[in-house]
């Protein structure tokens, strides 16, 4: 599936999707995605605790894309 199909699929399930796939900047991109996800979770929790919950909260979801060939991680793409 391409990024748009993944985003549409999980959006239909009620999630907000962030795709992380830039291996050259994976640390920064993943950190930013995690900070976004935590802030979204806190926003949803704050609304619920204030007595005004979001009717259908869209929970954050991260998709980590890594290059693979024949279901095997490409060795040169692995940083660790």
pLDDT tens-digit profile, the chain (80 residues): 899 999 999 999 999 999 999 888 889 999 999 999 999 999 999 999 999 999 999 999 999 988 776 666 666 554 54
pLDDT of residue 69: 65
pLDDT of residue 73: 63
Q: How far apart are CA 61 and CA 17, in angstroms?
A: 5
List the domain range (segments joined by +) for residue 71. Answer: 3-77
pLDDT of residue 66: 80
Q: How far apart are CA 48 and CA 57, in angstroms?
A: 10
Number of domains in the chain: 1
Phi-psi region of 26 (alpha: psi -120 to 50; beta: other; left: phi over 0): alpha
């Amino acid at each position: 599936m391409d990024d748009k199909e993944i985003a549409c699929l999980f959006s239909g399930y009620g999630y907000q999707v962030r795709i992380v796939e830039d291996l050259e900047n994976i640390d920064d991109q993943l950190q930013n995605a995690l900070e976004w996800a935590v802030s979204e979770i806190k926003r949803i929790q704050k609304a619920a605790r204030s007595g005004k919950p979001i009717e259908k909260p869209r929970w954050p979801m991260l998709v980590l894309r890594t290059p693979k060939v024949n279901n095997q991680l490409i060795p040169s793409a692995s940083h660790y």
